[in-house]
Structures are given as C-alpha cells and as structure tokens.
C-alpha cells in the first residue's frame, strides 16, 4: 500500500481514506493505493468497503499533471472496473468536489452518499478531453441520455441536491464524510443490501446521435471535446458495456493527442499560476475595508459594481450631484442584472445600493478609504489633477490606483508625494463582467501595494496579471500591433469582413473590426489623432478611411453604424458598403493595387504580429512570463481558450515557422515586421516559450 490511501478496519467495513492534498487527484499513488486497499479488504473478511477523501474533497479527478507522460501503474478505467467487480459492497462518501475521474470512481462504487455541500461533475471537456474511466458508459445508465449529455458536454458542477434528484447520488446527509459513510454502509449491510454495479444496469435507448453531435459541435465554437464526448454516450446506448468502454478509451485517446487538449490544460494551470509572484511570497497585503471610485461612467460604475458584489463598501466620487445620481443609476442597473440571475436577493440589492454605496462630490469623502481607483477621462493632465487631490486628502497608507489603459503610471505617481502607494489597476469593460485585471507596477510601487492589488483581484474573482509600464501595458500594446497587421491587410486588399470571418473561424470570439464597432470607433479615432499629433514615424503606415466614418458621427454599434450596419433588434451587423468604398478610395489614393488574401494567410499574419509583439513584451519584462501574456489575451481579448494563448499557440505551431512569417513580412515592410529579439533567441536555441514559463 502507498501512504496515499490509509486502510482501517471498523467491524465489517474496510475504510479507505484518500490523503493526497490538496485535491486528492487520482495520481499513481492513489490508484495503486486504492487497488491495494480493495485487495486487502477482500482478504480481510469484511463485507463492505467505504471510500472517502481526507481534507477538502473527495477525488477531484485524474491527476492532470500526468497527462502526456509515460503511463505508470494501473489505468484509472481498469481500477474502476476492479472496484466495481469487487464481491464486497463498495460505498463512496463524497464531499467537496467529486469531479472527472473522481466521480468515475464514485460511479464504479455500488452506492453513493454525499454531504449537502458536495458537488459532482465530469469537467473533462473543460480541459479538452472527455471522461475516460467509464463516465460516458456509467452515467447514462444511471441518469439517461439527455441529462448525461447536459452534464458531460457542459462540464458543469452539479450540486448534491440536483445530483440526488438526477439519480447520481443515493443519499445526502449532513456530517463528516467518514461518519455519514460509515453509518450508511452499516445501514446497507444491516438491510441486506447487495452489490449494485452500474455497468450491469440497462443502457438507455439511442437517440439521433448524429444530429446531437452536430448541435454540440456548433455550440462548442471550435472546441472538439464536447462533441466527441457525445460519441462516447452513443457507444453506451449502442454497444455492450465492455465494447462501450473500449470505444470511450479510443475517443479519449484521440482527444489526448490534440493541440486543443494541450491548450486547455495550459490555460488551466496558467490561470492559477498567473497571480503567483515569487516576490510577493510572505508579503502581507494592506487592509482593504472600503474603496473609493472616481468617475461613475461605464468603467467606474462597473468597478464599483464588482467591489460591491464582493462585499466592499464603495464611495463613488463624481463632479456633480446629477453625475453622481447617474453613476448610481448605472450601478443599480448592473446590480439588477445580478438580481435577475439570482446572484443577489432583493434585500441585498437594497443594502448594496442604499447602504454600501455612498455618493460624493467632494474629495474629502475619500479621506478614510483604503484604496481609491480613478476611472476619469483618459488624459494625463486630468489624471495629474486627480492624483494631486488624492495625495492631499487620502489617509497615510491608502493605495492610489489608476485605471488608465495606456498612460504612464510612473508619471502619474511622480505627481504625488507617495509614489510607493501608486499602482495601475486596469479593468476591462464591463468591469463587473470581464475577468481580466492588469496590475500595473510602476518603478516605485511598494511590494505590499502590489500584493494588495492581487488580493483585491482575488476578492473580485478576477484573473490578475502583473504588467510593467509601457504604452498599453500587456494587452492593449499587443492589441495595437495585431490590429495594425489587420489594417495593413485591409489596405493591401483583404476586406474587414473577410478578416473578421477568418479570425472567428480560427476561434476568436469576435474579429477585430466587429470588436472596434463594439468598443466604439471614437476610441481608435482619438488614438489615431493623438499619435498623429505626437508625430508618427514616416515609415509607419497610417489608414484614414475610418476617420471619415467617424467624422459623420458613426462610432459603431452604439450609433448603429461603423464597419457594420446594425439594425435594432437584430444580433450582429451586415457589412457597411460605405466602408468598402472608402477603403477602395484610400487604396487608389495611396497607389496600392489590391491583392487577394487567403483566410490562412490572414490568420498567419495576424497571429505572427501578435506573437512578435508578445515576445517583445516578455523580452522587455513588461510581462514576466509568456503565460502572463497568454492569460491576458484569453481573459481580456477573446482569444480561444482551446488554443491556450498566443504564445502557447506559437509553441505548438513551431517558433521557427512563426519567425519565418515575420521575416517574410519584413521583406515588404521592415518597420512593422521587426523580429522580437526574444523570439530569435528562442529559435536559435531550439527552446519554447513554455520553457521560459518553467524557469
């Protein structure tokens, strides 16, 4: 036996306690321990076996860190078969999260009891695979096709109450898993209950699985795993149990071989690693009991909403009573959404809007808050006035944060007497919905201020990424570059609509031009005007055609017209023919003969531009690790999760291939396509971005 499973005999029951913190993942030691435990129990003269987990949970799944490594010890599906085949009555007592392989062990047990707070699920599709230890063969036998398709293709966690109603659980009981498990097992033995293998239960009737497969594939927007899992459920209905298991294994292995599996698992571990910074180890964050928000526009109201929902009282500062009331209206509107979705009650809504939120028009109201986030107009002179006032009124030790999306946080910090307390907290709109938070660390920002930024991010349930100071930080700087690559392709002959389509086919939630319409074309217009006023490098290719659209008052979705024309009540837009004409006119004026682009070429160029800038961002230390860039793009810019992020994608694509695209582009335009030194170095050394993540 391994230490991972403790064996104990209590009367007629052998108790197997899993102890593999933090989540009792079913790694080699646990699998071998369970096997040995079952074998020992069978020789021990007991009548039943109870399996439960020590610590915070029953088994949370197969050990994902073993994926892709040479297999060791008994396979999980074989272990499940062995548990189910035991002549003893096998009971599992669940608490915490019985997920994936964990639920599969429970399904291989003959009876299942759980505490009320337990959650179960088969989330394998969320890491690019599917249940591979009988989940697709046993679950439908217990709960039918429709419910299995829902649980397996969504990967969602099912609460104990629902799991009981569905038939996944046999009983729910308050208490410790060990105690309720022992009592239930004894009760089963006393009542003469016998083994009850799910594999021997009849399979449900088959449905139209081809139609179901197509439906799930479409819903997955490029993610294969849920659709492939449907084929597993199909096998359950159409094949005998053993043949169904074989089919499940084949399908599981097919998915294990995909880039999507690698991308999803990279995302899983990176989203956990991204906010772990070695320099913050042992650094206590400052206390955070209340915050101030300056500016109650869409962004400020979103930040205030997120804070209120996380239980932080907010002082909202606006310029006038009317503006403050308007801000309150926006916050209440956001909270109405949470109310409708059942996230808060009517009483909480009233408490948040009437008690936790304070409106103010005087900076003195901020004198006692622990942290202030300004979300005022994006203009350095305005920010400097705000920070000067904050410096005068805020208490000692209060953190002064800017939500700027590209301005120099060092310059902002320098206009205060306490630059060590100044930090950038860059939220993404709508701030109560979007998961990304860029924590922008200026030269003098104190470490405990950085730690507080991450603590706030955690409290607001954000994915927090550390960024250094530069124009646009991590995300907007990279966006500016790949967006420019798209603009260049438009000038050279591709249409915005072909580009958007090629990129959504690649997996992006939206193409760059549809995104621009959503964000508001006035933003890009202001940036173009600013860059021109600052003096653009003559080698930089400017495009002016959208200026004319903006001059006519068309700013995208909010005005009904931009790259696309939007009709009220209809989702999405149709191409705006005026834009096509303006592009043609600009090409003619610039003497450009348009050429055709294939969708492949569009994706290749767009991705190469993204990867190149991302490599510069990492090389310059603006992002600490490649995974920081990946998480920024995934959580703030609609990058497809199943591709892991741009730098994970680049690793899988081959860095030499990406570099070749960049060098190829440089032959036409060496100003834009200047290779990132880090990318060249990695190619020369035969290393990957992921190697840097592991350093």
User: What is the set of active-site residues?
Assistant: 104, 124
Residue 115 or 440: the one with the smaller Cβ distance to ligand 3H9 is 115
Nearer to ligand 3H9, 198 or 314 (CB): 198
CA angle, 201 then 202 then 206, to 5°: 140
Shortest Å distance, C-beta 76 to ligand 3H9: 4
The site for ligand 3H9 (CB under 6 A) is made up of 22-23, 25, 60-65, 76, 97, 99-101, 104, 123-124, 127, 131-133, 135, 269, 272
Choose between 132 and 626: whose C-beta lies nearer to ligand 3H9.
132
Nearer to ligand 3H9, 103 or 499 (CB): 103
- 299/433 Cα distance (integer angstroms): 11
DSSP assignment string, 182-208: HHHHHHHHHTT-----GGGSPPPPP--
Distances (CA, A) of 68 to 159, 256, 288: 31, 8, 42
> What's the Cα-to-Cα distance from 564 to each of 224, 495, 500, 571, rounded to whole Å?
30, 12, 11, 12
**CA atoms of 221 and 588, how far apart (whole Å):** 38
Lookup: tokens for 304: 């205030």
User: What is the C-alpha R_g of the chain?
Assistant: 28
Which is closer to ligand 3H9, CB of 122 or CB of 549? 122
The answer to whether 63 touches 100, Cβ cutoff 8 Å, is no
Residue pair 73/40 in contact (Cβ under 8 Å)? The answer is: no
Q: What is the DSSP string of 556-625?
A: BGGGTBSSEE--TT-SS-EE-HHHHHHHHHHHHHHT-------HHHHHHHHHHHHHHHHHHHHHTTSSSS
- Shortest Å, Cβ 52 to ligand 3H9: 16
> Of 53 and 302, which has the nearer Cβ to ligand 3H9?
53
Residue 472: strand, helix, or coil? coil
Cβ proximity of 71 and 28 under 8 Å: no
Structure tokens at 690: 């992921």
- Residue 179 CA to its chain's centroid (Å): 37
- The CB-of-81 to ligand 3H9 minimum distance in angstroms stands at 12
Cβ proximity to ligand 3H9, 108 vs 607, nearer residue: 108
Report, in Å, the least distance between residue 50 CB and ligand 3H9.
22
Element (H, E) at 434: none
Compute the least distance from the CB of residue 632 to ligand 3H9, in Å.
Answer: 19
Task: Give the contacts of 154 (CB within 8 A, at least 6 positions apart).
Answer: 125, 226
Spatial distance between the Cα atoms of 488 and 479, rounded to a whole number of angstroms: 14
Q: What are phi and psi for residue 112, nearest 5 degrees?
A: -135, 125
> Between 31 and 383, whose beta carbon lies closer to ligand 3H9?
31
Q: How far is the CB of 100 from ligand 3H9 (least distance, A)?
A: 2
Distance CA 552, CA 473 (A): 32
Is the CB of residue 421 less than 8 Å from the CB of residue 399?
yes
Least distance to ligand 3H9, CB of residue 25, Å: 4
The nearer residue to ligand 3H9, 25 or 291, going by C-beta atoms, is 25
Peptide bond into 497 cis (omega under 30): no
DSSP state of 62: B
User: What minimum distance in Å lies between the beta carbon of 235 and ligand 3H9?
Assistant: 15
For the bound state, the minimum distance from the C-beta of residue 156 to ligand 3H9, rounded and expressed in Å, comes to 11
Distance separating alpha carbons of residues 546 and 560, to the nearest angstrom: 15
CB of 135 to ligand 3H9, least distance (A): 6
For residue 342, with 0-12 CB atoms within 10 Å meaning exposed, 13-18 middle and 19 or more buried, which class applies? Answer: exposed
Shortest CA distance to 177 belongs to which of 16, 27, 392, 39?
A: 16
**Distance from C-alpha of 629 to C-alpha of 144, rounded to nearest angstrom:** 42
Rounded Cα distance, 567 and 596, in Å: 30
Q: How far is the CB of 337 from ligand 3H9 (least distance, A)?
A: 25
Nearer to ligand 3H9, 65 or 574 (CB): 65
CB of 154 to ligand 3H9, least distance (A): 13
CB 124 within 8 A of CB 135: yes
Distance CA 312, CA 7 (A): 46
How many alpha carbons fall within 13 Å on the CB side of residue 50?
29
Smallest distance, ligand 3H9 to C-beta of residue 284, A: 19
| CA 606 – CA 479 distance, rounded (Å) | 10
Nearer to ligand 3H9, 52 or 563 (CB): 52
Q: Is the peptide bond before 430 cis (omega within 30 degrees of 0)?
A: yes
- Asked whether 201 and 145 are in contact (CB, 8 A), the reply is no
Nearer CB in complex with ligand 3H9: 260/404: 260
Q: Residue 58 or residue 513: which is nearer to ligand 3H9 going by CB?
A: 58
CB 436 within 8 A of CB 323: no
Tell me the C-alpha to C-alpha distance, in Å, between residue 541 and each of 373, 486, 588. 36, 12, 15
């Amino acid at each position: 036996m391994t230490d991972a499973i403790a064996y104990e005999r209590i009367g007629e029951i052998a108790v197997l306690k899993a102890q593999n913190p933090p989540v009792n993942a079913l790694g080699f030691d646990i699998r071998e321990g369970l096997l040995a435990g079952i074998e020992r129990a069978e020789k021990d003269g007991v009548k039943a076996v109870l399996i439960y987990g020590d610590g915070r949970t029953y088994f949370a799944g197969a050990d994902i860190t073993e994926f892709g490594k040479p297999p060791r010890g008994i396979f999980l599906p074989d272990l499940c078969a062995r548990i189910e085949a035991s002549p003893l009555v096998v009971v599992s007592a669940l608490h915490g999260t019985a997920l994936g392989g964990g639920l599969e062990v429970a399904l291989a047990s003959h009876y299942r009891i759980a505490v009320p707070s337990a959650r179960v699920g088969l989330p394998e599709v969320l890491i690019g695979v599917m249940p591979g230890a009988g989940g697709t063969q046993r679950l439908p036998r217990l709960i039918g096709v429709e419910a299995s398709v829902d649980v397996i293709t969504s990967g969602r966690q099912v609460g104990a109450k629902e799991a009981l109603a569905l038939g996944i659980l046999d009983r729910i009981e308050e208490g410790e898993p060990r105690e309720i498990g022992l009592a239930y097992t004894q009760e089963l033995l006393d009542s003469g209950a016998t083994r009850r293998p799910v594999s021997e239960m009849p399979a449900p009737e088959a449905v139209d699985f081809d139609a179901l497969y197509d439906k799930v594939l479409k819903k997955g927007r490029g993610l294969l795993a849920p659709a492939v899992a449907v084929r597993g459920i199909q096998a359950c209905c159409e094949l005998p149990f053993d043949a169904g298991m074989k089919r499940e294994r084949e399908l599981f292995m097919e998915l294990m071989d995909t880039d999507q599996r690698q991308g999803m698992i990279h995302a899983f571990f990176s989203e956990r690693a991204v906010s772990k910074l070695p320099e913050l180890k042992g650094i206590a964050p400052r206390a955070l009991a209340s915050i101030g928000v300056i500016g109650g526009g869409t962004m400020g109201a979103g930040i205030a909403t997120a804070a209120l929902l996380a239980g932080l009282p907010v002082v909202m500062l606006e310029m006038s009573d009317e503006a403050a009331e308007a801000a309150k209206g926006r916050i209440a509107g956001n909270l109405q959404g949470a109310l409708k979705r059942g996230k808060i009650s009517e009483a909480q809504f009233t408490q948040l809007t009437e008690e936790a939120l304070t409106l103010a028009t005087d900076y003195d109201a901020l004198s006692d808050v622990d942290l202030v986030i300004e979300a005022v107009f994006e203009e350095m002179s305005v920010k400097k006035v705000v920070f000067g006032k904050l410096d005068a009124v805020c208490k000692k030790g209060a953190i002064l944060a800017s939500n700027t999306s590209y301005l120099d946080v060092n310059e902002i910090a320098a206009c205060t007497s306490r630059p060590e307390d100044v930090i950038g907290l860059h939220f993404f709109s709508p701030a109560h919905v979007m998961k990304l938070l860029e924590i922008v660390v200026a030269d003098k920002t104190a470490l405990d201020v950085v730690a507080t930024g991450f603590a706030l991010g955690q409290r607001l349930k954000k994915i927090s990424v550390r960024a250094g100071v530069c124009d646009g930080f991590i995300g907007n700087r990279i966006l500016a570059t790949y967006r420019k690559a798209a603009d260049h392709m438009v000038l050279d002959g591709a249409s915005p609509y072909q580009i958007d389509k090629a990129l959504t086919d690649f997996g992006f939630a939206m193409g760059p031009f549809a995104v621009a319409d959503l964000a508001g074309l006035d933003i890009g217009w202001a940036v173009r005007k600013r860059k021109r006023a600052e003096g653009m490098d003559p080698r930089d290719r400017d495009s002016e055609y959208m200026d004319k659209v903006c001059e006519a008052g068309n700013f995208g979705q909010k005005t009904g017209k931009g790259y696309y024309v939007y009709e009220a009540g209809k989702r999405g837009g149709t191409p705006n023919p005026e834009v096509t004409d303006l592009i043609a006119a600009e090409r003619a004026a610039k003497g450009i003969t348009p050429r055709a682009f294939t969708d492949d070429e569009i994706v290749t160029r767009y991705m190469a531009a993204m990867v190149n800038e991302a490599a510069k961002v990492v090389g310059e230390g603006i992002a600490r690790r490649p995974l920081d860039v990946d998480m920024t793009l995934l959580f703030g810019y609609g990058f497809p999760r199943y591709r892991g992020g741009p730098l994970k994608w680049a690793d899988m694509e081959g860095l030499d291939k990406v570099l070749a695209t960049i060098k190829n582009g440089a032959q036409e335009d060496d100003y834009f396509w200047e290779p990132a030194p880090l990318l060249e170095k990695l190619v020369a050394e035969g290393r990957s971005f992921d190697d840097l993540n592991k350093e």
